[in-house]
Each structure stands twice: as structure tokens, then as C-alpha cells.
Amino acid sequence: MKFLEVENLTTRYQTSKGQVHALDDVNFSLDAGESIGIAGESACGKSTLGLSLIRMIHGGKIVSGKINLEGNSILNLTESDFNHNYRWKKIAMVFQGAMNSLDPVYTIKQQFIEILKQHKYEEDSDKLILDAIHSVNLDESVLKKYPHELSGGMKQRIIIAMALLLKPKLVIADEPTTALDVLIQAQIENLLKKLKKDGMSIMLITHDLAILSEIAEKIGIMYGGKMIEFGSSEAIYKNPKHPYTQALLESIPTLHGGKPTFIKGNPPDLLSPKEGCKFIDRCPEAMEKCKKDPPRFKTDSGYVMCWLYE
């Protein structure tokens, strides 16, 4: 039995201009203790995937598919059951830009206590808070401080500690290093490595493939709301199959490599997606058959959605 199984997951947002096809027929799975990196351009569906897993789709809804966690379907649960038994306890999320959401008029400890009250944790609250703080390499003195007294890196670690407060087995981290300088980014990346080493599963959402190699055993490449390639980290880096994955890797600057390239053209319109491969207008390998939706072709460690591998 897989720890996490996502099957044909489809999510839509309703707007005044119509439905946004934010997530379309996404499939992947993880074993217990395994971590995954989700990469792709902005507006490709990465954050929506994380929000779908934790069932917090504001302004949208999951229209089809399955999400099984430890063999149990979490989409069949009522909101009350999911909130009481799963959200923050088995699966938690560090939201993009969340470090700016700390309440400026309460101390850090008061904000931890409020979270525990919401989940009706009365006993051992001090121990839970200290365990969370220590897990992100912070001293307990930080609990007496207000958010404005903390650096950006400390605030980000506080947000991660809040996600770890109820000791979940899977943490989704959505762009956790955005807006941080490179030294603080390295600290956050090392923290994620430590959490993974301690046995926690992590879903790291990013547009930067370069930071995934030391954290994720598996990588999913998103484009136009679809997961167009999924496989082991080693396979994705050494032998990428999809032309989009290849182009992403070629865009990463290296110390000794050639000049990085960029992907010409614009991402697809998810308000009125066309039939066929979403990358067709930007793909150097495009052919007539690409006007039809490609199926998933099996690879050694996962799959790729590209007619080149028919």
C-alpha cells in the first residue's frame, strides 16, 4: 500500500470569464517517508495541487479524482472529519508567502496556543510547542517575541514550525524560500533536508529544479495544469523525457556549462484549453499527432505524456 496515491485529480476555479482548468487529470504516488518535488512555470498548477491535497481550494473545487492517504480516501470525508483527523495532524502545508501572515499584535507563543485551541489540544501544549520550535533549530526565547522582532528567515521557520506542531507525516512546502536572500534560502533548504532525514515526507513546490536534487526522491513536472512527467529524481535529471522538462533543465545556469537557454512563447490559456499537448506551440519536437491529447507512456521510474514515446 502506498502512503499517498493521487489518481486522475482534477480541480477547477470558477471566474467571471469561465472555468479555469487549473489541475487536469494528475496522477502520482509516494511511499512512506518518500519526498517529491513539484516543478514548473508560474500558473502551471503547482500550488493548486498542494491546496487540493489539503482540501483548501478557495474559489474553486475538486471536480473528480481520488486522493488516498495511508489507504484512506480523504475526498470522501466530511469537512469536519477531515479537519479533525487529517488536516495539520497527518497532512499540513506551508503556504506561499505565509511568513507575512503572522499576527503582529500577538507573541509567537500566543499564536501557537491559538492553533492548539482551535484543534482542542489542551494537554501537553507546552511540549508540543517546544518540540515544534526545536525541530526548526530555534531557541525557545523566540516564543516571547513579536513577529516584527524576527528576521525573514526566522519568520519562515516559525511558519514551518506551526505546520509541524501536530506532528504530520506529510508537509507541503509551497515556495518556502521565496523573497529570502540566498543565505537564508540555504538555511531553509538544510532544514527541509533535516526534516526529511527524520522520516517526514515533504512535497516541495518550486519553479526552480536546481533546489530539488538533494530533497526529493521523486519529481513531478507540471505544465498547463497537467503533470506531464513523473519519475525518480535521478531519472529526471540525467535522462529527462519530455521536451518541456529538457528545456527547464537547460535554463538552469551552471558554473561550467554553456549559456542557459529560455523557453520561447507563452504558457497556455487555462480558461479555454485546446485539445492536444499543452506544450505544442512552444515545442521544437511538435508534430501533427500532438494535436491529440497524449496518454501516459510508462518510463523506467514513472511516466511521460508525450507522443515521442509512443
Q: Which amino acid is at 294?
A: P
CB 93 within 8 A of CB 163: yes
> How does DSSP assign 240-296, residue by residue?
--SHHHHHHHHTS--SSS-------S----SSSPPSS-TTTTT-TT--GGGGS---P
Distance CA 143, CA 45 (A): 35
Q: What pTM value is reported for the model?
A: 0.93
Better-predicted residue by pLDDT, 243 or 115: 243
Q: Give the architecture-level CATH label for domain 4-77+202-309.
A: 3-Layer(aba) Sandwich (3.40)
CA dihedral of 69, 71, 76, 79, whole degrees rounded to 10: -40
pLDDT, mean of residues 268-295:
95
Asked whether residue 209 carries a pLDDT value surpassing 90, the answer given is no
Q: What is the mean pLDDT of the chain?
A: 92
CA 253 vs CA 15, 30, 76, 235, 259: distances in Å = 37, 30, 44, 20, 7
154 or 66, which is more confident? 66
Q: List the chain domain ranges.
A: 4-77+202-309
Q: Which three three-digit cell numbers place residue 108?
A: 509567537
Which pLDDT does position 177 carry in this prediction?
Answer: 81
Q: Is 132's pLDDT higher than 90?
A: yes
Pairing type for strands 36-39 and 201-206 reads parallel
d(CA 152, CA 293): 44
Work out the average pLDDT over 281-303.
Answer: 96
Give me the torsion for CA of 111, 115, 117, 123, rounded to 10°: -90
Q: Residue 64 has what pLDDT?
A: 97
Contact between 38 and 204 (Cβ < 8 Å): yes
Query: Is the CB of residue 150 less than 8 Å from the CB of residue 142?
Result: yes
Residue 310, classified by CB atoms within 10 Å of its CB into exposed (0-12), middle (13-18) or buried (19+), is: exposed
Would the pLDDT of 79 be above 90? Answer: yes
Residue 178 has pLDDT above 80, yes or no: no
Give the Cα separation of 195 and 77 in Å (integer). 28
How many Cα atoms within 13 Å fall on the side-chain side of residue 206? Answer: 22
Cell 507563543 found at: 109
Cα–Cα distance, 160 to 173 (Å, whole number): 8
Q: Quick one: pLDDT at residue 257?
A: 65
Which three cell numbers mark 50? 498542494
- Mean pLDDT for 93-101 is 86
Q: Does the pLDDT value for residue 56 go beyond 80?
A: yes
Contact yes or no for 108/147 (Cβ under 8 A): yes
